[in-house]
Structure 1
Amino acid sequence: MTTPETFADLQIHPAVLQAVTDVGYETPSPIQAATIPALMAGSDVVGLAQTGTGKTAAFAIPILSRIDTDNRQTQALVLAPTRELALQVAEAFSRYGAHLKVNVLPIYGGSSYVPQLAGLKRGAQVVVGTPGRVIDHLDKGSLDLSHLDYLVLDEADEMLQMGFAEDVERILADTPEYKQVALFSATMPPAIKKITAKYLHDPVEVTVKSKTQTAENITQRYFQVSYPRKMDALTRLLEVEEGDAMIVFVRTKQATEEVAEKLRARGFAAAAINGDIPQAVRERTISQLKDGTIDILVATDVAARGLDVERISHVVNFDIPHDPESYVHRIGRTGRAGRSGTALLFVTPRERHLLASIERVTRQKLVEGQLPSVEDVNAQRVEKFRDSITDALNAPGFDTFRQLVESYERDNDVPMADIAAALAVLSRDGAEFLMTEPPPEKKRERPDRPERERPARKVRDDLATYRIAVGKRHKVLPGAIVGAIANEGGLHRSDFGHIDIKVDHSLVELPARLPKEAWKKLENTRIQGILIDLKLERGGRSKSDKFDKGDKSERSGKFKPSGGKPFRPKQ
């Protein structure tokens, strides 16, 4: 069988081909070239592929090509481990089905049932959901899978690691025996092999290794910096680096707002985008990034998908990604169309293993950078101040102000240099001009311990201990706890610390500053049918890793444009 050279060679539906052409796709990726013909022919498929290989299009395109758009019943179900992936997959289905009359509905925990129930009642031919919320709708009778023709398990190994094995089995048991199944997984552990053997019929196996090389025109550096000092480190780099526009990647939606707010407090033109921001606001923010109204975008991985802005010269991994593929995708936002780009990575001491993983997968050794010193920053501030004076000499209104200053000099017998200095102080609005060294970080004193004493478990300062009302007697496992809380509360696996399962309750380390919306979403969360009744454990609060307060002493101005244009503070 010859390898298809274009999507037109794959015999997909003309309307789907038009949508694929609209988004600029021409040549199918290896997994698409191998998977689409098999699914179009009606075969079950097992795909071993990492994120970033194009697997979403590999199953969305053939399903959309074969679906009956005149039938309002649910014909395709895609199970995804997280709400972020469910939204991403649903968006992909809508994009490739833009010229079809097809209703795509994402259903996931942590959001209102009302729009989901309304969407199911109207009729959704394609449903993309997380296992827990899919089961909820099955129990309510709002989701009918009796006419299901296509089932996709996306990132199946991740679903099982998060404790969804029983949920997946329950959903599979509720589907018709004769249906087409596609299973995609990065690895093939025994549990996945068991599902494959039990529910797939003579599947076609497709294995594709992702391309993880990073572009040669992207300069990559990492900085070892403690979590509380990240904002100070970012500020220093922004003042010294020459660039045009920047994306700062963080791990959570809450962090996008916090980091953007701190940057604005320091005088930088920054904005946040995340999954909770309405599409209209997102489009306006990206437009402002393109036209130079803002210079720094603080984003999560999901919110930045599909973002292509020419003027992005820098990508900063404020929070190191746990998946090396995510790192490759992030830094690919710069260095587009042959232009040079810069990728900067913050690594805390306890995250060195993640750095090693990135270097191993990308087959590149990252260079450790040195953060600019206080002297470096102050030298830049002085230079920019001098440049701003030069620019102002030719600014409109200069003659008027010169006359006023000369008049003041005559009337008050004050030297011109003193007047200029006073005006400079006035323009700072009370803020310090030169940066000072921050106080040294306090090191915890560790008491001597006996030789055979086991080392204490490392404590994450950004977490606090919470109590939930399920434990050993409920036969609960850590994976089930992570899966339920992550999906219902909109959290990531990295937001979890130690889990201690007691007889009738469990203690779980979660972010100390748990967002109000997460609290609200978790009020009705159940594990093994038991309401978890989430509470902050008495005496279990840890010191939260807060971002540095954005005081005026470090207010400096816009990220320095390329070409060495003068610094101009925001008015």
Structure 2
Amino acid sequence: MNFKELGISEDITKVLKSIGITKPTAIQTESIAFIKEGRDIIAEAQTGTGKTLAFLLPIFENISTDVDAVQSLIVTPTRELAIQITEEAMKLKEAKDINILAAYGGKDIGSQLKKLKGNIHLIIATPGRLLDHLERKTINLNKLKTFVLDEADQMLLMGFKNDIETIIKQTPKKRQTLCFSATISSQVKKLAYRYMNTPIEVSVKKDEVTLNNINQYVVETTDRKKQDALCTVLNQDNPFMAIIFCRTKRRADDLEVALYKRGYDCKKLHGDLIQSKRERIMKSFRNADFQYLIATDVAARGLDISGVTHIYNYDIPETAESYIHRIGRTGRAGEEGSTCLFIDPKDKTTLEEIEKAIKLKIPRKSSI
């Protein structure tokens, strides 16, 4: 199956080719044709499966540049995700000149309002900023054709359910609704089915995304000795680019200071940083300007960065699912990846749950 067979135009196919995308991924193959037809979809797909293009490509095909109205709206839980989707959309703009507005907190609302005076076809937004525009009546969704709810599970987890329902109520009854989520929980299904018209369910199995090509290790330590253990492993591995996950913003702050003092090339990423700084850090990391990104789960949610060779779980994730999310950011596109999980005695039960979920007893790294 190729993009042409899925109904993607030659102009867009050329742009994809220029950025190295020649073959559709499983989620794109499963969903693009249905979305182009105007069907509602509930899609289960993790980061790294190509889900952003799974909805962006048919949206670009379906938008009419002759109509001066917002025709498509993508709502996503975090600013980082909104930025990432906008970057993908801007690449496709080369093939079809669609007017795009990114509306998220931390971005100057004045410049957004000015841009809205022009003709906007596609909006990529976080719930809070979008509601702000709707209340100010600076965004009109009366002619909306397609509504996308991205990372629906995270949306509910972050308490956006009421916001989403308020937004949906301001869209036409006859619209296409697409719901993309890493996991389709009963809550996600409940929300989706309430607002969808006989949706088609599409799923890309986790095993296609994670664990293949990833070497996993566990280091048994104590919280007091964890920093030294991490540095020993970093020195042994000397990764090209790595993400180090911490449980809390405070832990990320402390680890950044400690590693920086020891001479490691690192920067932290979490929700307390101002938006412009977060954007600068992400751009810099994508360009491989520094080696180690120290991040919390929420800040790194959905980020798809090519070139990450190693993932270090400085703090054990709370669930097996979260572990799979974290380590799935390496070992992409057939490349090998490596992950190391640091545990102290109190983490044993969580580790057992993780090993049960991935059906693997993770080898212990002994030379520490």
TM-score per shorter chain, which class?
Answer: 0.7 to 0.9
Number of the residue aligned with 2:292: 297
TM-aligned CA deviation for residue 131 of structure 1 = 2.2
Number of the residue aligned with 1:272: 267
Counterpart residue identity of residue 266, structure 1 = R
TM-aligned CA deviation for residue 179 of structure 1 = 1.5
Question: Contact (CA 8 Å) 1:19, 1:97: kept in 2 or not?
Answer: no
**Does the alignment pair 1:234 with 2:230?**
yes
Question: Contact (CA 8 Å) 2:81, 2:303: kept in 1 or not?
Answer: no
C-alpha distance 227-136 of structure 1, shift in aligned 2 (>3 A): farther
For 2:112 and 2:36, how far apart are their aligned partners in 1?
A: 29
User: Which SS does the other structure have where 1:100 is aligned?
Assistant: coil
Number of the residue aligned with 1:215: 212
Give % identity.
32
Alignment of 1:329-340 (within 5 A): 329-332=328-331
**Does the alignment pair 1:306 with 2:305?**
yes
For 1:307 and 1:261, how far apart are their aligned partners in 2?
A: 26
TM-aligned CA deviation for residue 351 of structure 1 = 4.4
For 2:262 and 2:190, how far apart are their aligned partners in 1?
A: 55
Number of the residue aligned with 2:323: 324
Kindly report the root-mean-square deviation, in angstroms, between the aligned alpha carbons of the 2 structures: 3.3
Number of the residue aligned with 2:30: 34
For 2:202 and 2:302, how far apart are their aligned partners in 1?
A: 29
C-alpha distance 21-359 of structure 1, shift in aligned 2 (>3 A): farther
User: Which SS does the other structure have where 2:292 is aligned?
Assistant: strand
TM-aligned CA deviation for residue 226 of structure 1 = 4.3
**Does the alignment pair 1:68 with 2:64?**
yes
Number of the residue aligned with 2:90: 94
* Count of aligned positions: 354
C-alpha distance 215-124 of structure 1, shift in aligned 2 (>3 A): same
Number of the residue aligned with 1:163: 159
Question: Contact (CA 8 Å) 2:44, 2:180: kept in 1 or not?
Answer: yes
TM-aligned CA deviation for residue 106 of structure 1 = 2.8
TM-aligned CA deviation for residue 246 of structure 1 = 4.5
TM-aligned CA deviation for residue 138 of structure 1 = 0.8
For 1:89 and 1:287, how far apart are their aligned partners in 2?
A: 18
Number of the residue aligned with 2:202: 206
**TM-score normalised by the chain length of structure 2:** 0.81
Number of the residue aligned with 2:109: 113
Question: Contact (CA 8 Å) 1:75, 1:150: kept in 2 or not?
Answer: yes
* Alpha-carbon displacement from aligned partner over 1:487-541 (angstroms, at most 9, x marks no partner): xxxxxxxxxxxxxxxxxxxxxxxxxxxxxxxxxxxxxxxxxxxxxxxxxxxxxxx
Question: Contact (CA 8 Å) 1:155, 1:184: kept in 2 or not?
Answer: yes
* Alpha-carbon displacement from aligned partner over 1:8-27 (angstroms, at most 9, x marks no partner): 21111333222222222222
* Alpha-carbon displacement from aligned partner over 1:226-282 (angstroms, at most 9, x marks no partner): 44543222223344x1545351423478866754443332234x1327474477776
Number of the residue aligned with 2:272: none
- Structure 2's unaligned 5+ residue stretches are 270-274
TM-aligned CA deviation for residue 64 of structure 1 = 1.0
Number of the residue aligned with 1:14: 10
For 2:180 and 2:262, how far apart are their aligned partners in 1?
A: 45
User: Which SS does the other structure have where 1:78 is aligned?
Assistant: strand
For 2:241 and 2:101, how far apart are their aligned partners in 1?
A: 33
Counterpart residue identity of residue 306, structure 2 = L
Counterpart residue identity of residue 216, structure 2 = Q
Higher mean displacement: 65-74 or 314-323: 314-323
For 1:104 and 1:229, how far apart are their aligned partners in 2?
A: 49
For 1:105 and 1:116, how far apart are their aligned partners in 2?
A: 7
Counterpart residue identity of residue 331, structure 2 = G
C-alpha distance 264-138 of structure 1, shift in aligned 2 (>3 A): same
Number of the residue aligned with 1:131: 127
TM-aligned CA deviation for residue 35 of structure 1 = 0.8
For 2:57 and 2:245, how far apart are their aligned partners in 1?
A: 31
Question: Contact (CA 8 Å) 2:209, 2:328: kept in 1 or not?
Answer: no
Number of the residue aligned with 1:382: none
Higher mean displacement: 205-214 or 56-65: 205-214
Question: Contact (CA 8 Å) 1:12, 1:62: kept in 2 or not?
Answer: yes
TM-aligned CA deviation for residue 101 of structure 1 = 1.5
C-alpha distance 57-352 of structure 1, shift in aligned 2 (>3 A): farther
Counterpart residue identity of residue 219, structure 1 = N
C-alpha distance 106-253 of structure 1, shift in aligned 2 (>3 A): farther
Higher relative contact order (CA 8 A, sep 6+): 2
Question: Contact (CA 8 Å) 1:271, 1:285: kept in 2 or not?
Answer: no
Number of the residue aligned with 1:151: 147
Number of the residue aligned with 2:245: 250
Question: Contact (CA 8 Å) 2:243, 2:312: kept in 1 or not?
Answer: yes
Question: Contact (CA 8 Å) 2:116, 2:138: kept in 1 or not?
Answer: yes
* Alpha-carbon displacement from aligned partner over 1:30-79 (angstroms, at most 9, x marks no partner): 22112100111122222233444332221111001111234443211112
For 2:282 and 2:164, how far apart are their aligned partners in 1?
A: 34
Alignment of 1:353-368 (within 5 A): 354-368=350-364
* Alpha-carbon displacement from aligned partner over 1:459-503 (angstroms, at most 9, x marks no partner): xxxxxxxxxxxxxxxxxxxxxxxxxxxxxxxxxxxxxxxxxxxxx
User: Which SS does the other structure have where 1:157 is aligned?
Assistant: helix
For 1:36 and 1:245, how far apart are their aligned partners in 2?
A: 35
Alignment of 1:189-200 (within 5 A): 189-200=185-196
Question: Contact (CA 8 Å) 1:324, 1:361: kept in 2 or not?
Answer: no
